[in-house]
Structure formats: C-alpha cells, structure tokens
A and B are shown apart, each in its own frame.
Chain A
C-alpha cells in the first residue's frame, strides 16, 4: 500500500476541499500507519503552539520614541523651510517699496552676516546627522533618552523660530532669530555628539 505524503497529510488539515482530499481521507480511515502519522502531525503542531512566548531582553520603547521624534522634527523642519522661503519672498517684496534707510545705531548688517553663518552651521550639522542615517539606526535606551530630550528641545526651538519669523519686524527679527539659531546649533551639536561621536568611539 502507498502511504500519504507529508504534503497530502498537511492538506487534510486545510479547510475546504483540496484536490484528492476525499480519497486521502478515505485512505487515512483505512490505513493505521497514515492515521498515526496524521495524529503525530496534529501533536507536533499543538506542541509548536505551546512553545513559551519569548520576551525581549531590552526595553525598545525609548528607541521607538526617539525615531518618532526624529521623524516629527524632520517633517517640522521641511515645513519651517517652506515658511522661511515664503517669508523671505514676502520680505523681498516689502524691501522694494520700503524707504531705503533703516533706523541708525543697530549693526543689522553684522547681525545678518552672523545669522547667515549660524544657519550654515546648522545646515552642516543637519547634514552630518542625515549622513549618519538616524532613522535606520537602532540605539540603546540610554542614548535614545538623551537624544529624545535634545530632539524635543530642537522641535521647540523650531516652533519659536517659525513664530519669530512670522511675527516680528525685520530688525528685531534678526537679533531674535540669531539667538534661536545659536541655540539650535548648540543642540544639534550635542545631538551629533550623542549619535555620531559615541558610535565612532565604539567602532560602529
């Protein structure tokens, strides 16, 4: 007598009618060896289902949160980028119709130059973080917590930057923006230190 193959035995467990299922069922009823084999198959599956549930050794939630924050921040930055462009365009329009002279006594040109430099620094640090590919990295809980605090603060500074760009007059804006951009660069610098410097120290 030819016994059923493993594939035929497995097909008997499937709901519905596989081709040849009726004949295979008849065979199992008549063949003690195949009936025993089917029984062992059922037992094996039951034992697989009864295997203990394995639990992770480390808490991964801080790392999930850190990635969420990083993603939110990059979305916010993209939006802030558009808002800045729009603001710059509208300021350029105002400059065309505004009287040439600014109130004297404030070195606005110096502030503007410094502001441009700080923005460049910020952009360079963003580039470092982007090259490091934060989203694709898995970090330990401690690093994730520190990075999370920094990223939260950067997100707050970004919101303040957006508000400052939209609400202030041009002269006051540059000074306030400079202060905020400096804070942003400091935070980004710390974030680069947390991610990139630590990673290179441990040879990742």
Chain B
C-alpha cells in the first residue's frame, strides 16, 4: 500500500470488492488525504479539489471489483484521482487564461522583482504546467503517462515541465544565485 497504511489490507480489499460499506469507508479514510492533496495541488480551488475527492471515491466504490491487485491500491486510486483532476481542469479551461498568458505575456513586469516561497510560486503557475510539475516531480509519473492522461504528446509534457521550472526558478529568486 505504498506509504499509506490500511490495517489488515487484504481482508479490507476483499470486503470492499464485495461492496461492504465499512471496508469502502476504511479505504476512503486511508487515502482521502493523499487524494485531496493531489487534487488540490492540481486544481485551482479547494471546492474543485473536494469535488475531485468525492468523484474519485465514487469511482473507486463503483470499480473496486475491477482492481485485481496487479499494482498497489494507492497507485490505482491515484490514477483515478489524477484523471478526475485533469478532467476538472479541462472542464474549467474556458475560465483559465493561463495559455493566453504563456503566449502573450511571458515576462510580466512584476516577475523580475518577485521572490516567493515555493507554495506561492507553485500556486502561481498555470494550471497545465502545475499539473505536469506535480504529476512528474512529486507523484513520479513519466512524461509518457502524463501525455496519455492529458491526451497530449510527450513533448508537450516535457516542454510544460521545462517552462514551469524556468518560472519557478525565476520566482524563487534562484536566478540571482546563477
């Protein structure tokens, strides 16, 4: 179960597969924080992240019978959560001006004078870049996997990651060290 602990994991999974509500709740309790964290790091608002948490576990409850134990249960749940979070990004995209910002104003004036902490800098990234950074650097997905989940190319994922790190470097004031 990776770094997350479910007491008597095999028995809980077997009961969850048969639809046992207590076992499904035990899975929810074990993984609600990491799922919410992933969703919150990718999504813009806490409300979106909570919706992703809810949708993820609804899907887990519905599909747990299809989980055959080939990989870790956390890996399986995490993929569902990532996919739901990315779906939420696509749904909200019409409200998102990130792509426009990237193309039209790559060097906003205040950027040069900024020195933020990492939380604030991560939050400031565009949604797509932030999602790629989090999925690749923290969750450990490969560019191929991210491209598959986003419906984009591998080079798109790579260039989003490079762009995100260039910005983080600048916003964190690391350029001054170079």
Where the two chains meet, the residues of A that have a C-beta atom closer than 8 Å to any C-beta of B are: 5-7, 10-11, 14, 33, 36-37, 40-41, 44-45, 47-49, 51, 53-58, 60-61, 63-65, 67-68, 71, 138
Contacts and interface: CB of A to CB of B under 8 A. Distances in A.
Size bracket of the B interface: 35 or more
Given A6-B165, A138-B51, 10 more contacts: A44-B172, A47-B118, A48-B134, A49-B138, A51-B122, A56-B53, A61-B28, A61-B29, A64-B28, A71-B62
A58 to B, nearest CB: 7
Contacts of A60: 32, 50, 53-54, 57
A67 B56 CA distance: 12
Nearest to B166: A6
Contacts of B73: none
B54 A40 contact: no
Contact of B138 (A6, A48, A54, A56): A48
B37 A53 contact: yes
B57 A64 contact: yes
Interface of B: 21, 25, 28-29, 32-34, 36-37, 40-41, 46, 49-51, 53-54, 57-58, 61-62, 118-119, 122, 133-134, 137-138, 143, 158-159, 161-163, 165-166, 168-169, 172, 174, 177-178
Nearest to A72: B19
13 contacts: A14-B143, A44-B169, A44-B172, A48-B133, A51-B122, A54-B36, A55-B33, A55-B36, A56-B32, A56-B49, A58-B50, A61-B57, A64-B58
B158 A64 contact: no
A64 B21 CA distance: 11
Contacts of A33: 178
B140 to A, nearest CB: 9
Contact of B61 (A14, A49, A64): A64
A54 B35 CA distance: 9
Given A10-B165, A54-B37, A54-B41, A48 B32 contact: no
Contact of A5 (B137, B162, B169): B162
Given A10-B158, A64-B54, A40 B174 contact: yes
The 10 A-B pairs with the shortest beta carbon distances in the complex, nearest first, are A7-B162, A6-B162, A56-B36, A53-B37, A64-B57, A54-B40, A60-B54, A45-B137, A54-B37, A6-B166
B54 A138 contact: yes
B165 A44 contact: yes
Nearest to A33: B178
A138 B166 contact: no
A144 to B, nearest CB: 10
A65 B29 CA distance: 13
B118 A51 contact: yes
A82 to B, nearest CB: 21
Contact of B21 (A6, A54, A65): A65
A53 B33 contact: yes
A63 B54 contact: yes
Nearest to B54: A60
Residue among B49, B50, B51 facing the most chain A CB atoms (10 A cut-off): B50
Contacts of B58: 64, 67-68
